[in-house]
């Protein structure tokens, strides 16, 4: 069976066909026993689908929704929420400042380098412990 | 009370008004998330999360879409996320079983067999195809509504529906083939 005819057959169940489409489908149906059988099977399947039991949740579903909605928040949630509130703004402010400084640096030197705007310090553990190591070696 | 009145009352602090909204729409949300994820704790969690998200964003709901469409959209998005998580966990732990369908123990075994076969077949579809089947057949939404919920053009909805039904038919062929003359629909309760 041609795919276009099959698509037209399916479409005829859910949407109104144009006059031309309807004529085409009718002529195909009148000339093909297999297409008629296909139509019958589709009708049967759609009938079964439409007659399916409507499932439902377990009893007292609304009560469970309300309990979930109205129960006091978990303490750990509250803790993380307050952390987010306290440091969230700080993090945004820091990001804005760093972006601003980078832009300033870019404009001034035409070569943005993060180390130019951040305080330069010792980079790794060895360098950090260097004075102490030197003292011990002496 | 209308949905708008209940929403207003909830915003003003009346939680019992929100409970009424949950009771009004829980069946609709259940059909969506259980249709997408199958019965089980995961579907229940997604159902609860749908209403919790709605509650937290209540002030942002302006009524442009109907509440039913709005809630279905949340439920559908959360179901897609749950399916993604499920796929990732299956990739990590290959032995995790897909919690598809709970077989119900009712007297109408013949109906249940067909029901379970169809339900399992729907769950074998890729999520984007499953979504259109769930919305069209379990939720009886129009093509325009499905297009609004999934935020895709109506032509795409139609083509996905056609492809989904074609795949479903291929999966169900051994069960619903030529020999299966009578199809049992939902038994009267």
**A120 lies in which domain range?**
75-137
Chain B, nearest residue to A48 by Cα: B185
Q: Are residues A82 and A130 part of one domain?
A: yes
Tell me the ipTM for this assembly.
0.75
- Whether residues A11 and B158 touch (CB distance < 8 A) is answered with yes
Report whether pLDDT(B50) > 90.
Answer: yes
Residue A50 pLDDT level (bands cut at 50, 70, 90): confident
Count structural domains, chain A. Answer: 2
A8-to-A2, A28, B114, B173 alpha-carbon distances in Å? 10, 10, 27, 21
Sole residue written with tokens 């059988």: A37
- Confidence (pLDDT) at A123: 62
Whether A17 is in a domain gets the answer yes
Q: Which residues contact A45 (CB under 8 A, 6 or more apart)?
A: B165, B168, B169, B172, B176
Straight-line distance from the first to the last Cα atom of chain B, in angstroms, rounded to the nearest whole number: 29
- The alpha carbon of residue A52 and the mean position of all alpha carbons in its chain are separated, in whole angstroms, by 31
Q: Find chain B residues with C-beta within 8 A of A71's C-beta.
A: none
**Other CB atoms within 10 A of residue B43 CB:** 24
For the segment B106-122, the average pLDDT, to the nearest whole number, is 70
Angle (CA) A46-A47-A48 rounded to 5° is: 90
Report whether pLDDT(B114) > 50.
Answer: yes
Whether A23 is in a domain gets the answer yes
Choose, out of B138, B146, B163, the residue to mutate when testing the contact with A (most A CBs < 10 Å). B138
Whether A60 is in a domain gets the answer no
- Give the one of A7, A41, A53 whose C-beta lies nearest to B115's C-beta: A53
Residue A61 pLDDT level (bands cut at 50, 70, 90): very high
What's the 3-state SS for B171-184? Answer: HHHHHHCCCCCCCC
- Confidence (pLDDT) at A32: 86
Q: Find chain A residues with C-beta within 8 A of B58's C-beta.
A: none
Q: Are residues A79 and A131 part of one domain?
A: yes
Whether A33 is in a domain gets the answer yes
């Amino acid at each position: 069976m041609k795919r276009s005819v099959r698509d037209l057959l399916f479409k005829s169940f859910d949407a109104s066909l144009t006059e031309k489409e309807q004529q085409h489908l009718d002529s195909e149906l009148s000339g093909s026993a297999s297409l008629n059988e296909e139509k019958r099977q589709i009708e049967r399947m759609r009938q079964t689908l439409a007659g399916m039991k409507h499932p439902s949740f377990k009893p007292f579903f609304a009560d469970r929704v309300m309990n979930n909605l109205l129960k006091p928040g978990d303490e750990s949630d509250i803790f993380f929420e307050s952390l987010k509130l306290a440091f969230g703004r700080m993090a945004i402010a820091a990001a804005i400042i760093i972006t601003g400084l980078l832009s300033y640096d870019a404009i001034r030197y035409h070569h943005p380098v993060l180390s130019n705007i951040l305080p330069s310090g010792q980079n790794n553990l060895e360098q950090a412990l260097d004075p102490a190591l030197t003292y011990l070696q002496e | 009370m209308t949905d708008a009145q209940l929403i207003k009352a909830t915003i003003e602090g009346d939680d019992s008004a929100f409970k009424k909204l949950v009771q009004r729409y829980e069946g609709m949300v259940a059909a969506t998330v259980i249709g997408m994820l199958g019965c089980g704790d995961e579907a229940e969690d997604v159902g609860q999360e749908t209403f919790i998200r709605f509650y937290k964003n209540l002030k942002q709901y302006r009524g442009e879409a109907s509440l039913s469409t709005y809630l279905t959209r949340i439920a559908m998005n959360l179901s897609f996320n749950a399916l993604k998580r499920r796929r990732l966990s299956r990739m990590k732990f290959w032995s995790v079983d897909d919690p598809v369908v709970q077989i119900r123990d009712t007297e109408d075994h013949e109906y249940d067999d067909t029901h379970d076969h169809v339900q399992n077949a729907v769950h074998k579809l890729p999520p984007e195809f499953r979504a259109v089947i769930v919305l069209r057949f379990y939720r009886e939404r129009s093509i325009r509504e499905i297009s609004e919920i999934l935020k895709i053009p109506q032509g795409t909805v139609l083509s996905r529906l056609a492809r989904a039904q074609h795949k479903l038919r291929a999966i169900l062929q051994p069960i619903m083939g030529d020999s299966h003359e009578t199809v049992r629909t939902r038994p009267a309760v």
